[in-house]
Amino acid sequence: MQSLSDFAVLDSANDDPLSSMVRLLRQQLGLKSALISVGKGAHLISRALDGAPVSTALLLNSLTSSLNTTDSILTVTDAQSDARINRAALAESPSLRFIAACPLRAVEGELLGVLCLLHDEPYVLDAAQHASLLVVARFAAQFLEQEAQIARQAQELEALRDSERRMALAISGSGTGVWDRNVLSGEIYYSSGWKALLGYADHEIGNRIEESYTRVHPDDLAYVKATIADHLQHRTGEYEVEHRIRCKDGSYKWVCSRGKVVERNAAGESLRMVGTTTDITSKHELSEQSRKTATLLTDLTDEIPGMAFQFQRSADGDLRFTYVSAGSYELFGVTPEQLLSDPHALRSTIHPQDLAGYLHSFDSTTRDLTPWHYEYRVLIPGRGVGWRQGDARPKQMPDGSVLWHGFIADISPHKSIEAELQVFATTDSLTQLSNRRWFLVQLEAELNNVQRKAEHGAALLMLDLDHFKKINDQWGHTVGDQVLRHFAKLLRAQLRISDTAGRLGGEEFAVVLSNADTPKAAKFAERLQEELKSAPLIHDGQAIHMTVSVGIAAITPSDDKVEVSLSRSDIALYRAKRNGRDRIECYD
């Protein structure tokens, strides 16, 4: 546990590594809840939860028999239709649909707890998600087993201390693992307990210091001798060293040797040194397991696409990253070391147009202690623009600082899909103008501008290609589509940035001219008609001439809805068609 604290991996003084595991797992998979319950059978209790609170006592009890007989993930795609889930469990959690339960077992197979993923919609894990769940389950089981080992060792240590106190009262001046060295003669006495520590009988150990050094591991010998010399030369108040020592069977144990000079001559030279030797092999093994677990947790965060981080804002406003995973370089082109030394290195990559919003979002979560969620763009040299999504939870610390545990993901592919879907939903696929629905939305926005701003005017034009049916009949629908695209291209060339054009259906089009009155709209229509006459569609070497009829109406503040404006322009268009086509009529 000390090693985990030293590495500062994913946790803090107030954060359980199990909580970090379920939080990262739920964020990666995008599910409603992720939790770890510990215990056995019907006695499972929640240990770590991320996401919406959910009662799992009856639910896990429904699956106890299955979990006791499997080492793999138990998946319930839809709890509402799965016979393994009893009705009482469903009544307790009526919104629950998807369940993935993975037993957490000790090396010997003992069930330590369950890792659960829960969702309020049916869900199916893909192969990668299945593998990620197994990896996190393995880490969680290792952590729980090591935690249990630590607890057992603490109990054993306390029992040993009680025993040592009783032994000290019963046998004053002696104990297991005691040694007594004559510094001048080089003789050393070992108690029976000390010899038994290494597997020796009383007569199998010599009494020379030179022999004792042969049992010290070669890699530790120089360190042991130097530590003893420092104490003998008054440079340290006592002797204490951890090292490996060879047993009778040839194996090595880790021991802690403590001692002190208890006799010196008048010149201050050391005469006698007494001490004890303690077997700390299990402690070192546990420390090594903890180190490996810390390494595994670091590897986990480094392998997940994205950046896991811990960020702190002190009471006086000082900012710093306290942990950054390796994904920072992929997301921002900045290494974890750079961010740990300079937190503003990340801010420098944020798109200038999004920086103010980014800073405001962090100020808000600091002030209100609400979860942070923000989508923003980054500019990375050599890579261009990308989209990032940040999520973090703030925690008020006793010293007045705020600590975030969070995750930042690359959402550029999702944003590209969103943009494509937006174009698909708002654009007429044939002409690439706005479709009817999106044009009406923009017309509604223009009407709102006219009603809010007294000086703002706008005009609406309805356009209809003349004799389009004849073109289709003579040339076919494929050429008819080319005619519509050709007309849309000419129309688009006449538009300003503030103007909007759309295809309402068939050969009927509409245009909204912002900051324009009917005379300006009429001029726009005249230019369009002239362009149409001078640039016919050429198909197979033949020119296909076309004309357009135009009806114009002003958009007025008194129009209570867009249909009123459309009706007036439609009336003007009907008049243009009725009066011979290829005309421009304004609603009077």
> What confidence tier does 491 reach under pLDDT thresholds 50, 70, 90?
very high
Within 10 Å of residue 384's Cβ, how many Cβ atoms? Answer: 9
Note if the pTM is more than 0.75. no
Please check whether residues 108 and 54 belong to one and the same domain.
yes
User: Residue 396 in contact with residue 348, Cβ under 8 Å?
Assistant: no
Which residue, 359, 394, 416, sits at the end of a domain?
416
CA dihedral 312, 314, 317, 322 (to 10 degrees): -30
In DSSP terms, 380 is beta-bridged to 384
Give the up-direction half-sphere exposure of residue 244: CA atoms within 13 A in the CB hemisphere.
Answer: 11
> What confidence tier does 13 reach under pLDDT thresholds 50, 70, 90?
very low
Please check whether residues 343 and 210 belong to one and the same domain.
no
State the Cα–Cα distance between residues 202 and 110, nearest whole angstrom.
Answer: 41
Q: Which residue has the higher pLDDT, 87 or 457?
A: 457
Please check whether residues 40 and 83 belong to one and the same domain.
yes
Give residue 574's pLDDT.
Answer: 94
| Furthest-apart CA atoms within the chain: distance in Å | 132
Residue 102 domain flag? yes
Within 10 Å of residue 446's Cβ, how many Cβ atoms? Answer: 23
Give residue 298's pLDDT.
Answer: 65
3-state secondary structure of 552: strand
Share of the chain above pLDDT 70, in %: 90
Give residue 51's pLDDT.
Answer: 87
Q: Which of 258, 234, 261, 256 is nearest to 245 (CA)?
A: 256
Please check whether residues 256 and 109 belong to one and the same domain.
no
Task: Give the distance from CA 205 to its chain's centroid.
Answer: 59
User: Residue 118 in contact with residue 54, Cβ under 8 Å?
Assistant: yes
State the Cα–Cα distance between residues 353 and 80, nearest whole angstrom.
Answer: 47
Give residue 14's pLDDT.
Answer: 46
Q: What average pLDDT does range 348-357 have in this prediction?
A: 90
Please check whether residues 335 and 257 belong to one and the same domain.
no
Residue 163 domain flag? no
Please check whether residues 10 and 101 belong to one and the same domain.
yes
In CATH, what number is assigned to the domain containing residue 279? 3.30.450.20
* Residue-wise pLDDT tens digits, 181-196: 999 999 999 988 888 8
Give residue 164's pLDDT.
Answer: 64
In CATH, what number is assigned to the domain containing residue 146? 3.30.450.40
In CATH, what number is assigned to the domain containing residue 448? 3.30.70.270
Which residue, 376, 391, 416, sits at the end of a domain?
416
Please check whether residues 28 and 115 belong to one and the same domain.
yes
Residue 422 domain flag? no
Please check whether residues 244 and 318 belong to one and the same domain.
no
Token pair 């998946």: residue: 75
Please check whether residues 446 and 517 belong to one and the same domain.
yes
The pLDDT of residue 364 is above 70? yes
Which residue, 352, 386, 416, sits at the end of a domain?
416
**Average pLDDT value for the chain:** 85
What residues make up the domain containing 503? Answer: 427-586
State the Cα–Cα distance between residues 296 and 286, nearest whole angstrom.
Answer: 15
The pLDDT of residue 44 is above 70? yes
Sequence-distant (6+) residues with CB within 8 A of 532 are 487, 490, 546, 547, 548
Q: Which residue has the higher pLDDT, 295 or 223?
A: 223
Residue 46 domain flag? yes
Q: Strand ranges (DSSP E) for 411-515?
A: 458-465, 500-505, 508-514
Q: Which residue has the higher pLDDT, 418 or 442?
A: 442
Q: Strand ranges (DSSP E) for 452-507?
A: 458-465, 500-505
- Residue 149, exposed/middle/buried by CB under 10 A (0-12, 13-18, 19+)? middle
The pLDDT of residue 1 is above 50? no
The first and second tokens of residue 342, run together, are: 């300079």
> What confidence tier does 65 reach under pLDDT thresholds 50, 70, 90?
low
State the Cα–Cα distance between residues 45 and 113, nearest whole angstrom.
Answer: 9
Which letter does DSSP use for residue 581 in this model?
Answer: S
* Residue-wise pLDDT tens digits, 316-325: 889 999 888 8
Residue 240 domain flag? yes
The pLDDT of residue 52 is above 60? yes
The single residue of 507, 508, 531, 585 carrying the catalytic annotation is 507
Sheet-wide strand order for 384-396 = 319-324, 307-313, 402-410, 384-396, 372-380
Sequence-distant (6+) residues with CB within 8 A of 65 are none
Give residue 278's pLDDT.
Answer: 86
Q: Which of 118, 147, 113, 98 is nearest to 25 (CA)?
A: 118
The first and second tokens of residue 383, run together, are: 């890579």
Please check whether residues 20 and 61 belong to one and the same domain.
yes
Residue 342 has phi, psi (to 5 degrees) of -145, 95
Residue 411 domain flag? yes
> What confidence tier does 170 reach under pLDDT thresholds 50, 70, 90?
very low
Q: Strand ranges (DSSP E) for 281-383?
A: 307-313, 319-324, 372-380
Please check whether residues 82 and 210 belong to one and the same domain.
no
In DSSP terms, 508 is beta-bridged to 464, 505
Residue 538 domain flag? yes
Share of the chain above pLDDT 90, in %: 33
**Residue 507 a catalytic site member:** yes
Please check whether residues 249 and 387 belong to one and the same domain.
no
Residue 5 has phi, psi (to 5 degrees) of -65, -40
Task: Give the distance from CA 491 to its chain's centroid.
Answer: 47
The pLDDT of residue 61 is above 80? no
Give residue 169's pLDDT.
Answer: 53
Domain count, the chain: 4
Contacts 24+ apart (CB under 8 A), 171-178: 175/276, 177/276, 177/277, 177/278, 177/279, 178/274, 178/275, 178/276
Residue 293 domain flag? no
